[in-house]
Structure 1
Amino acid sequence: MNDFIIRTEELEEDQLKELYVESEDDKKILKSLKSQSPVLLVGSRGMGKSFLFKISQMQLLDNFEKDRIFPVFLTFRSASLVQTGNNVQFELWMLNKICTVIIRELKKYGLISSVKWNFGNVTSEESPYGNSIKILMEKNKEFENSWKNPGKIIDTMAVPTIDELMDIIEDICVELNIKRMVIYIDEAAHVFIPEQQRQFFSIFREIRSSYVKCNAAVYPGVTCYGDIFEPMHDAVTINLTRDLREENYVSNMKEMVLRQIKDSETTKNLIRNGENFSVLAYAASGNPRLLLRSVEKVGNFKTNSVMAVFREFYREEIWSEQSLLAEKYPSNSKFIDWGRTFIETVVLPEIKNKNDRALENNKASSVYFWIHRNSPQVIKESLRILEYTGIIKLQATGIKATNSEIGNRYEVNLGCLFALENAPLSVGINIVNNLSLKRMSEFGANSKAYETLIKKIPKFTEPDMTECLKFQLAKSIDVLEISEWQKGKLRELNINTLGELIVSKESDLMRAYQIGKVRSRQMKNAAFAAVFEYLFG
């Protein structure tokens, strides 16, 4: 059995290079990421946003001596833990985080070992051994532990203002002959805390000069940009999608899988059953993580095994994950539950019926549906969550439908559509080969399908996330996607909840049997990555 790696944070640099399968679209994206213009890389979970950020970072480092463009990669995945006394403090946490990572990266590559630098009230001269970075790191910990005492005001004297940060970056670039810094921000802000997102994009907009630019990885639908930031004018927006109709789609997806397969027998089975693999590739709708997860389950790629994937993964598991969000975020549960019901019982059956008739008569098939632009806000919020999870994808905006009405066209996950078929292998290929953008199921501004959600939530309001976070951190470590061995070791140390795990240290983990310094760090990284992925949904 192959144990596929599906998260970028689990991969070392050599593995990233080994697993990277370059496409023409990827080349264009990487070029934009390294250019002078800020980029928003938009994609649902598992599409490869973090992976491309890392590849871009490595390429810049490989060419640093020649191009003098210095990359800095950081993540704001711990944003949900910041529960300080006022909104300004969240902005200061972000600035502090950026400062910390810039210093660490410059020191890591030996660029400031003997250069004076000054971040706010923290300078290199305070400690000839470079320990002054600990001041900023400790401040990060204070912010990220603020969930234990919500409302507490944190002393931020050591944190520079955004104007100071811009001046500092310029001084460092001039001093070190750096042409430009490129800051890659992954997990920009918690997707279910709109206020944090608005504050993030306010800062994102300001960190821009001839010496620095930011790129941010964001999710579709659920990202709130605020009133100040305008995606069309303040950044280059790139939607990370893979066109099913593109000539090399299947071969690129196949290469991604082959590079992770470790045994020759599985490789032979995949090649021998190439058409079955093609259906799985299309079912993933361009999402590498979905494809790897389905291939992990399929085994020998024979027809019965592939059919089992559609029955178990695309009919059950993928929907269970959607519904799990309702348990994580009860204040959003009505949106999440209605979205599942709408797609599963209304949209998919209607598209299937259209395809059945179309394929019988050699006409064009569909995986699309259309929503009127004047549909109620609560409906749009529900659809945005479906975009985030990858159940649907916004295919185009401002599309004319019947009677020249204007709305948005969405694409459903093909695996969920194929799973409705008795013979998904043959029917699936026919659907893909006959796709037409003009064929779509339409839902008007006052569709009857909306009524159940509108009755439950007449008006959309943003939820209070403080209580929601407390609810999440009280949950058992059983909800995490880590090994049973790791869970057992955590329980040995009486670490039973997400909250207890968040505050644990590497030294705590080393107290468990057979856990040394190296393994404790690996274990902590894996566990923390699992916690933050769970909190992010």
Structure 2
Amino acid sequence: MTEEDDATKYAERADFLEGDELYGWTVDHEYFRSIQRKIIQSGAKLLVGPRGSGKTHHFRYAHLSCKDNKSGPLTVYVSFTRYYNLEPYLRDSREALQIFHSWVLAKILIAVHEDFPDSYLTASEDQPALNPGSLREFIAEAERGADPSVMNKAHRSLSISQVTALLETIMVNQRRRRVVLMLDDAALVLTPEYMVEFFDIFRSLKTLKISPKASVYPGTTEYGPRFHADHDAEKVQAWLNVNDEKYGVFMERIARDRLGLTGDLLGADVSKLLAYAAFGIPRAFITMCRQFIDEQSQSVQQQFNKVINGHVGFRKSEYFSLADKTPQYRDIIRVGWDVFEGMVEEAKRHTEESIPERKATIIGLVKNDDQKRERMIRFLVEAGLLYELPPVSHGPDRDYGRFMPHYGFLIDRRAFVKGRGWSPAKIISGIEAPEKKHPIRRKMESILDADALRRIELNLPACKDCGTERISDHQSYCHNCGARLIDPSIFEECMKIPVDELPITEKQKERIKSQTDIRTLGDIVSSADPASELRKARHIGEKRANKIYRLAKSVEEEFFS
């Protein structure tokens, strides 16, 4: 196997795999097949899971499977990863929602044209607004933040009925019985206004012949007042419970069939431990397997500990990155980490007391009507740090939300084994021990001290004119000076990331800053010709300029992923 093949095999994101690779390396397992059946069924569905749980993989696989299968539905796959490029319109234009609405529909139409070009052109020949070339131009303008006054007015008036009519016409042309719309990256968490609009569109796209599906996060996806997630669509769980009886076999198949790992390379017990430490996230498992093989420590124990330490450190930093993306929740996210740490310690202490006969990893938190506390827990679920189980009730005022803290953190703190020795088999035995009959029951007040509880508040930006702090997150005008309050742009904050923080060499950073006009990430990714500007720096030719541009784009994508 070539180095390039090996790198592809260990690719962590389905977005980066070619169709044949994605199709050929998919693990055939009943858990996977059950989700595939849901995706291609009729009816609206929401594919729910945190980052890395495989939502994109499921959609792309289903799309490829149906593409040449004439007995299956006509499928359309669309990714909305670049929605954040439209975020500045929310601050600068009254037409923001109209532009976003048309952008969503245009993205769907272009996806249809790419898969069925001849049928598309036939079905849309009398409608200039559906011209693929001008639709692509409109999408590019919107993602570039063009002035609304210069945009093509026809595309900004695209309607749901135009899209559904065209889809059903092509469906008949292709001799299919129905249409499945796969709308990936639909949890537009950095722009809740767009998220509400998106699910209005989602609901309206559903017809007798068209079944929309969308991938969402388990914690913070906001559906808006007109979309009821449990009524308008069926939720499909794409995050496998680490205690599910199918879990071990599914992860073992990933190691064997996807990664081609044998006992010589990893060891059966180590592979199993890494699978449990991944906590149901295939991307995390693939990453840890690669790191373990690459690690050249003196012993298997040192290799394993280094990989686990790195994994829990990354999970922590990824969680805290939410504070950069949603600064109004900065303190809530920080206090949330204290809650998570408290839950891990509770699970560790109770498991140590009962292991090896029983483990105690399920924690029941008394439900509270405080929306900010609820949002705090939602962030932990979205980050994949807490796995939510069905709630339980033990009588009036004794309703509990049930959660499991991330097993990687419990493994890192030796919660599943007694004594000082290191034995993968004993750790696995502890993990696979039956759960105690009753979960650990706690109130938030028993996990956090009074000071932390007071910090569960929104961080609202002050008035830019007089500096007075806001008193409400719904406030439009300053209560002190009357000036209009403007929310900070998350997109613009990303564009301000300095060159010094890009993953390039120190010499390249110095040359770019001293020999070009580039100072920030935005100067690179927003430039009409970034390669030419980068090549003004000494020793940066065409190949290096392209590589720096790709690295800059990866920083942008990771910021908003």
Instruction: Please give the TM-score of this superposition, normalised by the length of structure 1.
Output: 0.84
What corresponds to 2:112 in structure 1? Answer: 105
Aligned partners of 2:176, 2:500: CA distance in 1, in Å? 46
1:79 shift after superposition: 1.5
Does residue 336 of the first structure (1) align with residue 333 of the second (2)?
yes
Q: Report how many aligned residue pairs link the two structures.
A: 513
The DSSP-based 3-state class of the residue aligned with 1:434 is coil
1:340 shift after superposition: 1.3
Aligned partners of 1:414, 1:389: CA distance in 2, in Å? 14
Q: Is the 8 A contact 1:73 1:185 kept in 2?
A: yes
Which of 93, 116, 121 lines up with 2:100 in the alignment? 93
What corresponds to 1:66 in structure 2? Answer: 71
RMSD of the alignment, in Å? 3.6
What corresponds to 1:242 in structure 2? Answer: 240
What corresponds to 2:525 in structure 1? Answer: 502
- What letter matches 1:374 in structure 2? N
Which of 150, 158, 161 lines up with 2:159 in the alignment? 161
The DSSP-based 3-state class of the residue aligned with 1:183 is strand
Q: Is the 8 A contact 1:121 1:158 kept in 2?
A: no
Identity, in percent, stands at 21
CA gap 1:29/1:260 in 2 versus in 1, 3 angstroms: closer
CA gap 1:401/1:498 in 2 versus in 1, 3 angstroms: farther
What corresponds to 2:406 in structure 1? Answer: 413
Query: Which string of whole-angstrom CA distances, capped at 9 and with x for unpartnered residues, describes residues 191-220 of structure 1?
Result: 132222111111111101123221101111
Between 9-18 and 494-503, report the one with greater CA deviation.
Answer: 494-503
- What letter matches 2:556 in structure 1? V
What corresponds to 1:394 in structure 2? Answer: 388
Which of 272, 275, 284 lines up with 1:290 in the alignment? 284
What corresponds to 1:128 in structure 2? Answer: none
The DSSP-based 3-state class of the residue aligned with 2:435 is coil
Aligned partners of 1:9, 1:509: CA distance in 2, in Å? 28
The DSSP-based 3-state class of the residue aligned with 2:180 is strand
Query: Which string of whole-angstrom CA distances, capped at 9 and with x for unpartnered residues, describes residues 485-516 of structure 1?
Result: 99999989765533223324578479856647
The DSSP-based 3-state class of the residue aligned with 2:409 is helix
1:389 shift after superposition: 1.3
Correspondence 1:255-270 to 2 at 5 A:
255-261=253-259, 267-270=262-265
Aligned partners of 2:248, 2:170: CA distance in 1, in Å? 46
Does residue 115 of the first structure (1) align with residue 122 of the second (2)?
yes
- What letter matches 1:47 in structure 2? S
Aligned partners of 1:8, 1:481: CA distance in 2, in Å? 22
Q: Is the 8 A contact 1:365 1:436 kept in 2?
A: yes
Aligned partners of 1:274, 1:510: CA distance in 2, in Å? 51
Between 196-205 and 424-433, report the one with greater CA deviation.
Answer: 424-433
Structure 2: runs of 5 or more not aligned: 415-419, 460-471, 475-485
1:374 shift after superposition: 1.9
Q: Is the 8 A contact 2:357 2:434 kept in 1?
A: no
Does residue 476 of the first structure (1) align with residue 498 of the second (2)?
yes
Does residue 207 of the first structure (1) align with residue 205 of the second (2)?
yes
Q: Is the 8 A contact 1:93 1:140 kept in 2?
A: no
CA gap 1:18/1:96 in 2 versus in 1, 3 angstroms: same
- What letter matches 1:473 in structure 2? M
Query: Which string of whole-angstrom CA distances, capped at 9 and with x for unpartnered residues, describes residues 144-173 of structure 1?
Result: 222x87x97955432412233323333343
Does residue 441 of the first structure (1) align with residue 440 of the second (2)?
yes
Does residue 357 of the first structure (1) align with residue 353 of the second (2)?
yes
1:412 shift after superposition: 1.0
- What letter matches 1:430 in structure 2? S
Query: Which string of whole-angstrom CA distances, capped at 9 and with x for unpartnered residues, describes residues 231-253 of structure 1?
Result: 11111101112233344422321
Q: Is the 8 A contact 2:180 2:211 kept in 1?
A: yes
Q: Is the 8 A contact 1:40 1:215 kept in 2?
A: yes
Aligned partners of 2:109, 2:531: CA distance in 1, in Å? 28
Aligned partners of 1:480, 1:255: CA distance in 2, in Å? 36
What corresponds to 2:556 in structure 1? Answer: 531
CA gap 1:438/1:493 in 2 versus in 1, 3 angstroms: farther
Aligned partners of 2:143, 2:126: CA distance in 1, in Å? 20
Correspondence 1:118-197 to 2 at 5 A:
121-123=128-130, 132-146=131-145, 156-159=153-156, 160-197=158-195
Which of 325, 345, 348 lines up with 2:344 in the alignment? 348
Q: Is the 8 A contact 1:366 1:440 kept in 2?
A: yes
Instruction: Please give the TM-score of this superposition, normalised by the length of structure 2.
Output: 0.80
Aligned partners of 1:325, 1:166: CA distance in 2, in Å? 36
CA gap 1:489/1:505 in 2 versus in 1, 3 angstroms: farther
Structure 1: runs of 5 or more not aligned: 124-131
Aligned partners of 1:489, 1:257: CA distance in 2, in Å? 43
The DSSP-based 3-state class of the residue aligned with 1:74 is strand
Q: Is the 8 A contact 2:54 2:282 kept in 1?
A: yes
Aligned partners of 1:501, 1:71: CA distance in 2, in Å? 35
Query: Which string of whole-angstrom CA distances, capped at 9 and with x for unpartnered residues, describes residues 51-71 of structure 1?
Result: 0000010011030x333x221
What corresponds to 1:127 in structure 2? Answer: none
What corresponds to 1:37 in structure 2? Answer: 43
Q: Is the 8 A contact 1:201 1:226 kept in 2?
A: yes
The DSSP-based 3-state class of the residue aligned with 2:197 is helix
CA gap 1:197/1:307 in 2 versus in 1, 3 angstroms: same
